[in-house]
């Protein structure tokens, strides 16, 4: 009787091992599929065309910041900008009292 119990137990262990391998292979295949990432679907707002500006709005002056032109960018030389170290020990280039500051962190390890 012990021999029969042993064969049944081995059969179940073999079946469990095969199921585990099949599950692992299925997970790897599902993870490596090219379409595994979700793609956003366009909503109703994205499919409608943008409204066309009328002549009255096209000639109205724009308020707010305007992007600088290439000529304005080329005329500013970095050597003419003030540079130094402030009272806190921070290095700066440009106006140290500017309303917007770019802080760059670096670690040399």
In a domain, 106, yes or no: no
Could you tell me if 81 and 94 are in contact, meaning their C-beta atoms sit under 8 angstroms apart? Answer: yes
- What is the residue range of 15's domain? 1-34
Sign of CA dihedral 12, 14, 20, 25: negative
Could you tell me if 78 and 93 are in contact, meaning their C-beta atoms sit under 8 angstroms apart? Answer: yes
pTM higher than 0.85, yes or no? no
pLDDT at position 37, please?
Answer: 59
In a domain, 101, yes or no: no
The whole-angstrom separation of Cα 105 and Cα 17 is 51
Q: How many domains does the chain have?
A: 1
In a domain, 10, yes or no: yes
In a domain, 75, yes or no: no
In a domain, 97, yes or no: no
In a domain, 66, yes or no: no
In a domain, 91, yes or no: no
Residues making up the chain, counted from first to last: 109
Q: Which distant-in-sequence residues (6+ apart) come within 8 Å of 81 by Cβ?
A: 93, 94
pLDDT in tens, 42-100: 665 555 566 665 555 555 566 777 777 776 666 667 777 888 888 888 888 888 888 88
Is the pLDDT at 19 greater than 90? The verdict is yes
């Amino acid at each position: 009787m012990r021999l029969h119990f042993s064969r049944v137990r081995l059969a179940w262990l073999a079946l469990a091992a095969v199921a585990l391998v099949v599950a692992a292979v299925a997970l790897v295949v599902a993870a490596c599929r090219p379409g595994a990432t979700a793609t956003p679907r366009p909503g109703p707002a994205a499919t409608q065309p943008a409204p066309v500006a009328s002549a009255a709005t096209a000639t109205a002056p724009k308020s707010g910041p305007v992007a600088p032109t290439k000529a304005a960018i080329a005329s500013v030389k970095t050597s003419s900008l003030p540079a130094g170290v402030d009272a806190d020990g921070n290095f700066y280039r440009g106006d140290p009292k500017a309303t917007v500051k770019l802080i760059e962190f670096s670690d040399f390890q």
